[in-house]
Amino acid sequence: MDNFGLDKNLPCSIEKNLCDCGGIKGLIDAIPEKDEILEMSGLFSAASDPIRMTILEMLNIHKLCVCIIKQALEIPDSKLSYHLKILQNSGLIRGEAEGTWIIYRLTEKGEIFMDKLSTLKISETSI
């Protein structure tokens, strides 16, 4: 072990990178706090279903009522309700009453999430 608590038998490139960031302690200090990791994990979990991802993509274009989302996805009310609830519980979307309608939209967190996610999309031309 060296001064940074690193195994002496590491590949040179790994040892250099770890030394540059302050060893294991520096690496651990550089990662987000556990609460932030859990929140990020929850967001990705909520978005991990193709139906929920499609809902997020639709709401990233326009706020929508349930009937439009249901028609676009061609799924039963119970299934749509289940997916909307997961997205709401994650804080990515919210539903607001407008008269007798519930209108769904991205929250600020949802907008940021979708904006960040758009930078990860890989086009066929970039492969």
Q: Structural domains in the chain?
A: 1-31 (no CATH), 36-118 (1.10.10.10)
Each residue's pLDDT tens digit, 51-78: 999 999 999 999 999 999 999 999 999 9
Q: Which residues pair with 106 in a beta bridge?
A: 93
Token pair, residue 114, equals 């979708």
Taking alpha carbons only, the member of 88, 85, 120 closest to residue 106 is 88
- Give DSSP secondary structure letters for 31-47: SPPHHHHHHHHHHHHHH
Is residue 63 a contact partner of residue 103, using CB atoms and an 8 Å limit? yes
Phi, psi of 103 (to 5 degrees): -105, 125
pLDDT tens for 23-52 read 888 889 889 999 999 999 999 999 999 999
Q: Provide the whole-model pTM.
A: 0.78
Could you give the C-alpha distances from 25 to 11, 16, 21, 31, in angstroms and in order? 19, 14, 9, 10
